Amino acid sequence: MHIHRPWQVAFSLLITAAIAVPALAQQSEAPAPATSPTPAVPAPKKPPKHKPAAPAPATAPAAAPATAPAAAVAGGVKPTLLGQYGDWGAYTASPGGKKICFAIAKPSSSETNPPNRPRNPAYMFISSRPADKVSNEVSIIIGYPFKPNSEATVDIGSTSFALYTQQDGAWIKNAADEAHMVEAMRAGQSAVVKGASAKGTRTTDTFSLRGLSQALDRTDQDCK
């Protein structure tokens, strides 16, 4: 699952462009804007011993999404919002003519130890790339460089999954567990990601899973 460095750079740039994704709007006390900013397209990674997984069926959005300003996205590709479902936004785009669909969310809460350490925004997304026969691939952008050769974890209910890390990204360590992880996320209420930065800061990010099933159903419908 390791990413070639050029893809990692593009990946970070694209995810940075997702800061205003509508799925993240409810993290603020202010009402959602009339239009929701468009997130960037997740760049594929090169799996080491990884396999594709598969997305799910579709439902109508739980709430009208905020609309997006026409911001420039890396590579000139502007993702299309398929729907806003609870805390998750469903998107599609075709960078390089290859279709990709993804559900994306920002943490509902984040903590650092020591407290109040600065970092870039964190995101979790689940992407499908039909041309590469990849579906429901879980990725996390943590907002800082992970400690080299360290692992991170994601806890969903009473189940914990190990993640391998590279730069500011994390992916499931055991490829065979990815489908199980996605099913656990569909049925769960939150996913808690823990990791350590290169500077020794420990982080805990809690992602609400409200609306994830519907978002995956929608991306599955569009990226069969």
Q: Return mean pLDDT, the chain.
A: 76
Alpha carbons 209 and 207: distance in angstroms, whole number: 6
Which one-letter DSSP state was computed for residue 146?
Answer: B
Report DSSP state, residue 148.
T
Residue corresponding to tokens 């209420």: 189
User: What domains sit in the chain, N to C, each tagged with a CATH number?
Assistant: 5-222 (2.60.40.1880)
What pLDDT, in 10s, does the model give residues 19-43?
Answer: 344 434 333 333 333 344 445 555 5
Return the residue matching tokens 């914990």.
160
With the C-alpha atoms ordered 128, 129, 133, 139, is the resulting torsion angle positive or negative?
Answer: negative
Strand order in the sheet with 159-166: 80-85, 88-93, 100-105, 123-129, 134-141, 169-172, 159-166, 151-156, 190-196, 202-208, 109-113
Name every residue whose Cβ is closer than 8 Å to that of residue 137 and which is 6 or more positions away in sequence.
45, 50, 52, 53, 126, 127, 128, 129, 171, 178
Helix (H, G, I), strand (E, B) or coil at 35: strand
The 3-state DSSP class for residue 97 equals helix
Asked if residue 80 lies in contact with residue 87, where contact means CB atoms within 8 angstroms, the answer is no
Q: How far apart are CA 155 and CA 188, in angstroms?
A: 10
Question: Judging by DSSP bridges, how do beta strands 123-129 and 159-166 pair with one another?
Answer: unpaired
Name the helix (H) or strand (E) containing 151: strand 151-156
Can you give the pLDDT of all 224 residues of the chain as single tens digits? 444 333 344 434 444 444 344 434 333 333 333 344 445 555 555 444 444 444 443 333 333 333 333 333 445 567 889 999 999 999 998 888 888 999 999 999 999 999 999 999 999 999 998 988 888 999 999 999 999 999 999 999 999 999 999 999 999 999 899 999 999 999 999 999 999 999 999 999 999 999 999 999 999 999 87
Token pair for residue 77? 């590709």
Residue showing tokens 């590579």: 75
- Rounded to two decimals, the pTM is 0.72
